[in-house]
Amino acid sequence: AQKVTQAQTEISVVEKEDVTLDCVYETRDTTYYLFWYKQPPSGELVFLIRRNSFDEQNEISGRYSWNFQKSTSSFNFTITASQVVDSAVYFCALSESDMRFGAGTRLTVKP
């Protein structure tokens, strides 16, 4: 069965610090998809990135970067030079036949 583990329940950093959110997954499929979503205090869920199991290239989008390593079943998310607006709950998700989410990591960025 598919499973996503986000071991960090809460993280607090000071603005401009770099922060990495960990995501470890379990799956028996060879073809699967990984996602990150952001849930700001307003409550909506915002899609950030999708990665398929055959593409292990790291991705960078502005201050955001993602490190996908099949060898360790991890899909970690790094925010560089964090800002107060990055404060949110971040969810990692794994999709096989349906999408399952991790428990989320609450990131607080203090000014």
Chain contacts with another protein (rule: CB under 8 A): 4, 6, 9, 33, 35, 43-45, 47, 50, 52, 91, 95-104
**Torsion (CA) 54, 105, 5, 64 in degrees, nearest 10:** 20
Cβ 92 to another protein shortest distance, Å: 9
CB closer to another protein out of 78 and 106: 106
- Residue closer to another protein by CB (options 14, 46) is 46
Question: Rg of the chain over CA atoms, in angstroms?
Answer: 13
Query: Among residues 15 and 32, whose Cβ is nearest to another protein?
Result: 32
Whole-angstrom distance, CA of residue 99 vs CA of residue 20: 23
3-state secondary structure of 87: coil
